[in-house]
Copies of this chain bind each other. A is one copy, B any other.
């Protein structure tokens, strides 16, 4: 679309219905100059015209375009590095890790496979709960599989955003299912999607 066509759309959006004469005056051009632009905008369905009334804005289906764009983004394109501890780490060590890595959640593994998730909220609850956080291993207080919400690399980011909202979690581990040569199988952690990844993508889309 040309600059002038975009200007016409803006004018009609704000002041429609408006005659071609009025648009011409606002743009300081002749009606003859405008005619091809108005023809294109009308034929493409962006504007419509009614005799003796003028041009009005119909619009392209913005919401549909936006939905498509948001759904086209995959988890693997946005995920960040996960923070992981072993099940044997103490609650205190896990709290220290949360601060050192400045993260909201820590994923817990055993033998290379995901076994649990622990959040700031879980840690806070236990820090004031009267247990000895220097002795109790994180494996005791974490949320354990299968009660964990997970994401996969080729999932849409909007589906994962929905999971995060519905399950009221700060982040989800991005995993792939693997079967090792020793016959053991489970989920390997590839990354993390948190609310901050979603907010960053949002800001990126909104531009400068």
On A, residues with C-beta under 8 Å from B are: 1-2, 5, 39-41, 43-46, 60-67, 69-71, 92, 95, 98-99, 102, 120-121, 123-125, 127-128, 133, 156, 158, 161-162, 164-165, 168, 195-196, 198-203, 205-207
CA distance A158 to B204 in the complex (A): 9
Question: Which applies to chain A's interface (DSSP): helix, strand, loop or mixed?
Answer: helix
* A-B pairs, 10 with minimum CB distance: A44-B44, A158-B206, A195-B195, A70-B206, A67-B207, A127-B127, A40-B43, A120-B120, A1-B45, A124-B124
Q: Is A1's CB under 8 angstroms from B44's CB?
A: yes
Q: How far is the CA of A102 from the CA of B70 in the complex (A)?
A: 28
- Contact between B95 and A124 (Cβ–Cβ < 8 Å)? yes
Measured in the bound complex, the distance between the Cα atoms of B71 and A121 in whole Å is 32
Q: Which of B71, B102, B206 is the one whose CB lies under 8 Å from A67?
A: B206
CB <8 Å contact, B205 and A63: yes
Distance of A5 Cα from B162 Cα, bound (Å): 32
CA distance A201 to B92 in the complex (A): 36
Residue in A40, A45, A64, A198 with the greatest tally of chain B CB atoms within 10 Å: A198
Decide: B60 and A203 in contact? CB cutoff 8 A.
no
Q: Is the CB of A158 within 8 A of B203?
A: yes
Greatest chain B CB density within 10 A among A46, A66, A156, A164 is at A66
Residue from B44, B92, B161 in contact with A206 in the complex, judged by beta carbons closer than 8 Å:
B161
- From the candidates B65, B69, B196, name the one contacting A195 in the complex (CB within 8 A): B196
Residues from chain B with a CB closer than 8 A to the CB of A202 are 70, 158, 161, 198, 201-202
Nearest-neighbour CB distance to chain B for A13, whole angstroms, equals 11
Closest to A124 in B: B124
Write out the residue numbers on chain B whose beta carbons fall within 8 Å of the beta carbon of A127.
124, 127-128
Among B65, B71, B133, which residue has its beta carbon within 8 angstroms of that of A62?
B65
Interchain CA distance A120-B119 in the complex, whole Å? 10
